[in-house]
Amino acid sequence: MKILVTGCAGFIGSDLTEYFLNKGYEVVGIDNFNNFYDPKIKEFNISEFKEHSKFKLCRTDITDRVALWKVFEENEIEGIAHFAAYAGVTQSNADPNTWVYNNIDGTSNLAEFAVKKGVKSFVFSSTSSVYGANTVPYKEEMSTDGPLGIYPASKKAGEVLLYAYSSCFNLNVTILRFFNPIGPRLRPDMAIPKLIRAAEYGYTFTLYQGTESSRDYTYIQHMMEAVEAGLTKPFKYEVLNIGSSNPVTLKDLLESAERVTGKKIKTVREDRPGQMQVTCADTGKAKRLIGYSPTITLDQMMEKYYDWFLKQPEWYKKGEKSWTV
């Protein structure tokens, strides 16, 4: 099977690309290597597999219709794992147009060309943030008409667009609403890398909300297995929560990082708007439909990330000031 992975140089996209290559799939990867975060990290993310015989890299933007169509013309794509997106609630509210243009137009372009080329399956990376102020645990049938930022609104728009492509043009679509991911190559602006760098190098970790706020963390391996299931056993149109159903407070996350590293972490409080107080996935539907069954605990996730982190080059481990903001 030949799979198109968009955002292949990002955190999840690069892990997913490597996962597929290790399982024998052919992968065509698209990434525009933008500066949402340091492009040097994205180049680093693909360094271990960019010369793989079954991998083809296209330095292309999914909003560039001419360049994107060329990718479809030159490759017999059978499935699409769509992970290219501008992420982050706070950042999206500061620059709505960039998030709307890239996340919505890019998704529509991919879906349109997938239909024209008869692509068999389309997996869309969505976010738990679409649930907004709903009560937990979040269930797929809940209304998602009240997102708390431009980023989740753009993801909701993508879900709706893909429903239309599915109903109007018979595109098989699986929407995966991911809850907070942990794994190798984790984006530098996310909590775990910041905590580990704070522990290792004495940086100060910024708390954007109170330590009793909680998140449902998900290990990358479980996420990749869910993507593979959506591609190889496609649905007409389904939405699935991919989380652990076990919210962890920020206090517990901080203590886990200190426990795993054996070092104390300095903190400072600086509230940000648009932050959800708690996230928690009801994963019953995913368990029924694709056999989804997460097993890795928070400390195990933290240990796996820390072990991987310690093996990386010094420039990556130490990071730069912009990565810690």
Q: Which residues are catalytic?
A: 151
Conformation bin of residue 218: beta by default, left when phi > 0, alpha when psi is -120 to 50: beta
Show the tokens assigned to 56: 């083809």
Write out 131-153 in H/E/C secondary structure: HCCCCCCECCCCCCCCCCCHHHH
Instruction: Write out the DSSP string of 82-128.
Output: E------HHHHHH-HHHHHIIIIIHHHHHHHHHHHTT-SEEEEEEEG
Task: Find tokens 């997913």 and name the residue.
Answer: 16
Nearest-CA neighbor of 214 among 141, 285, 137?
137
Contact call for residues 152 and 132 (beta carbons, < 8 A): yes
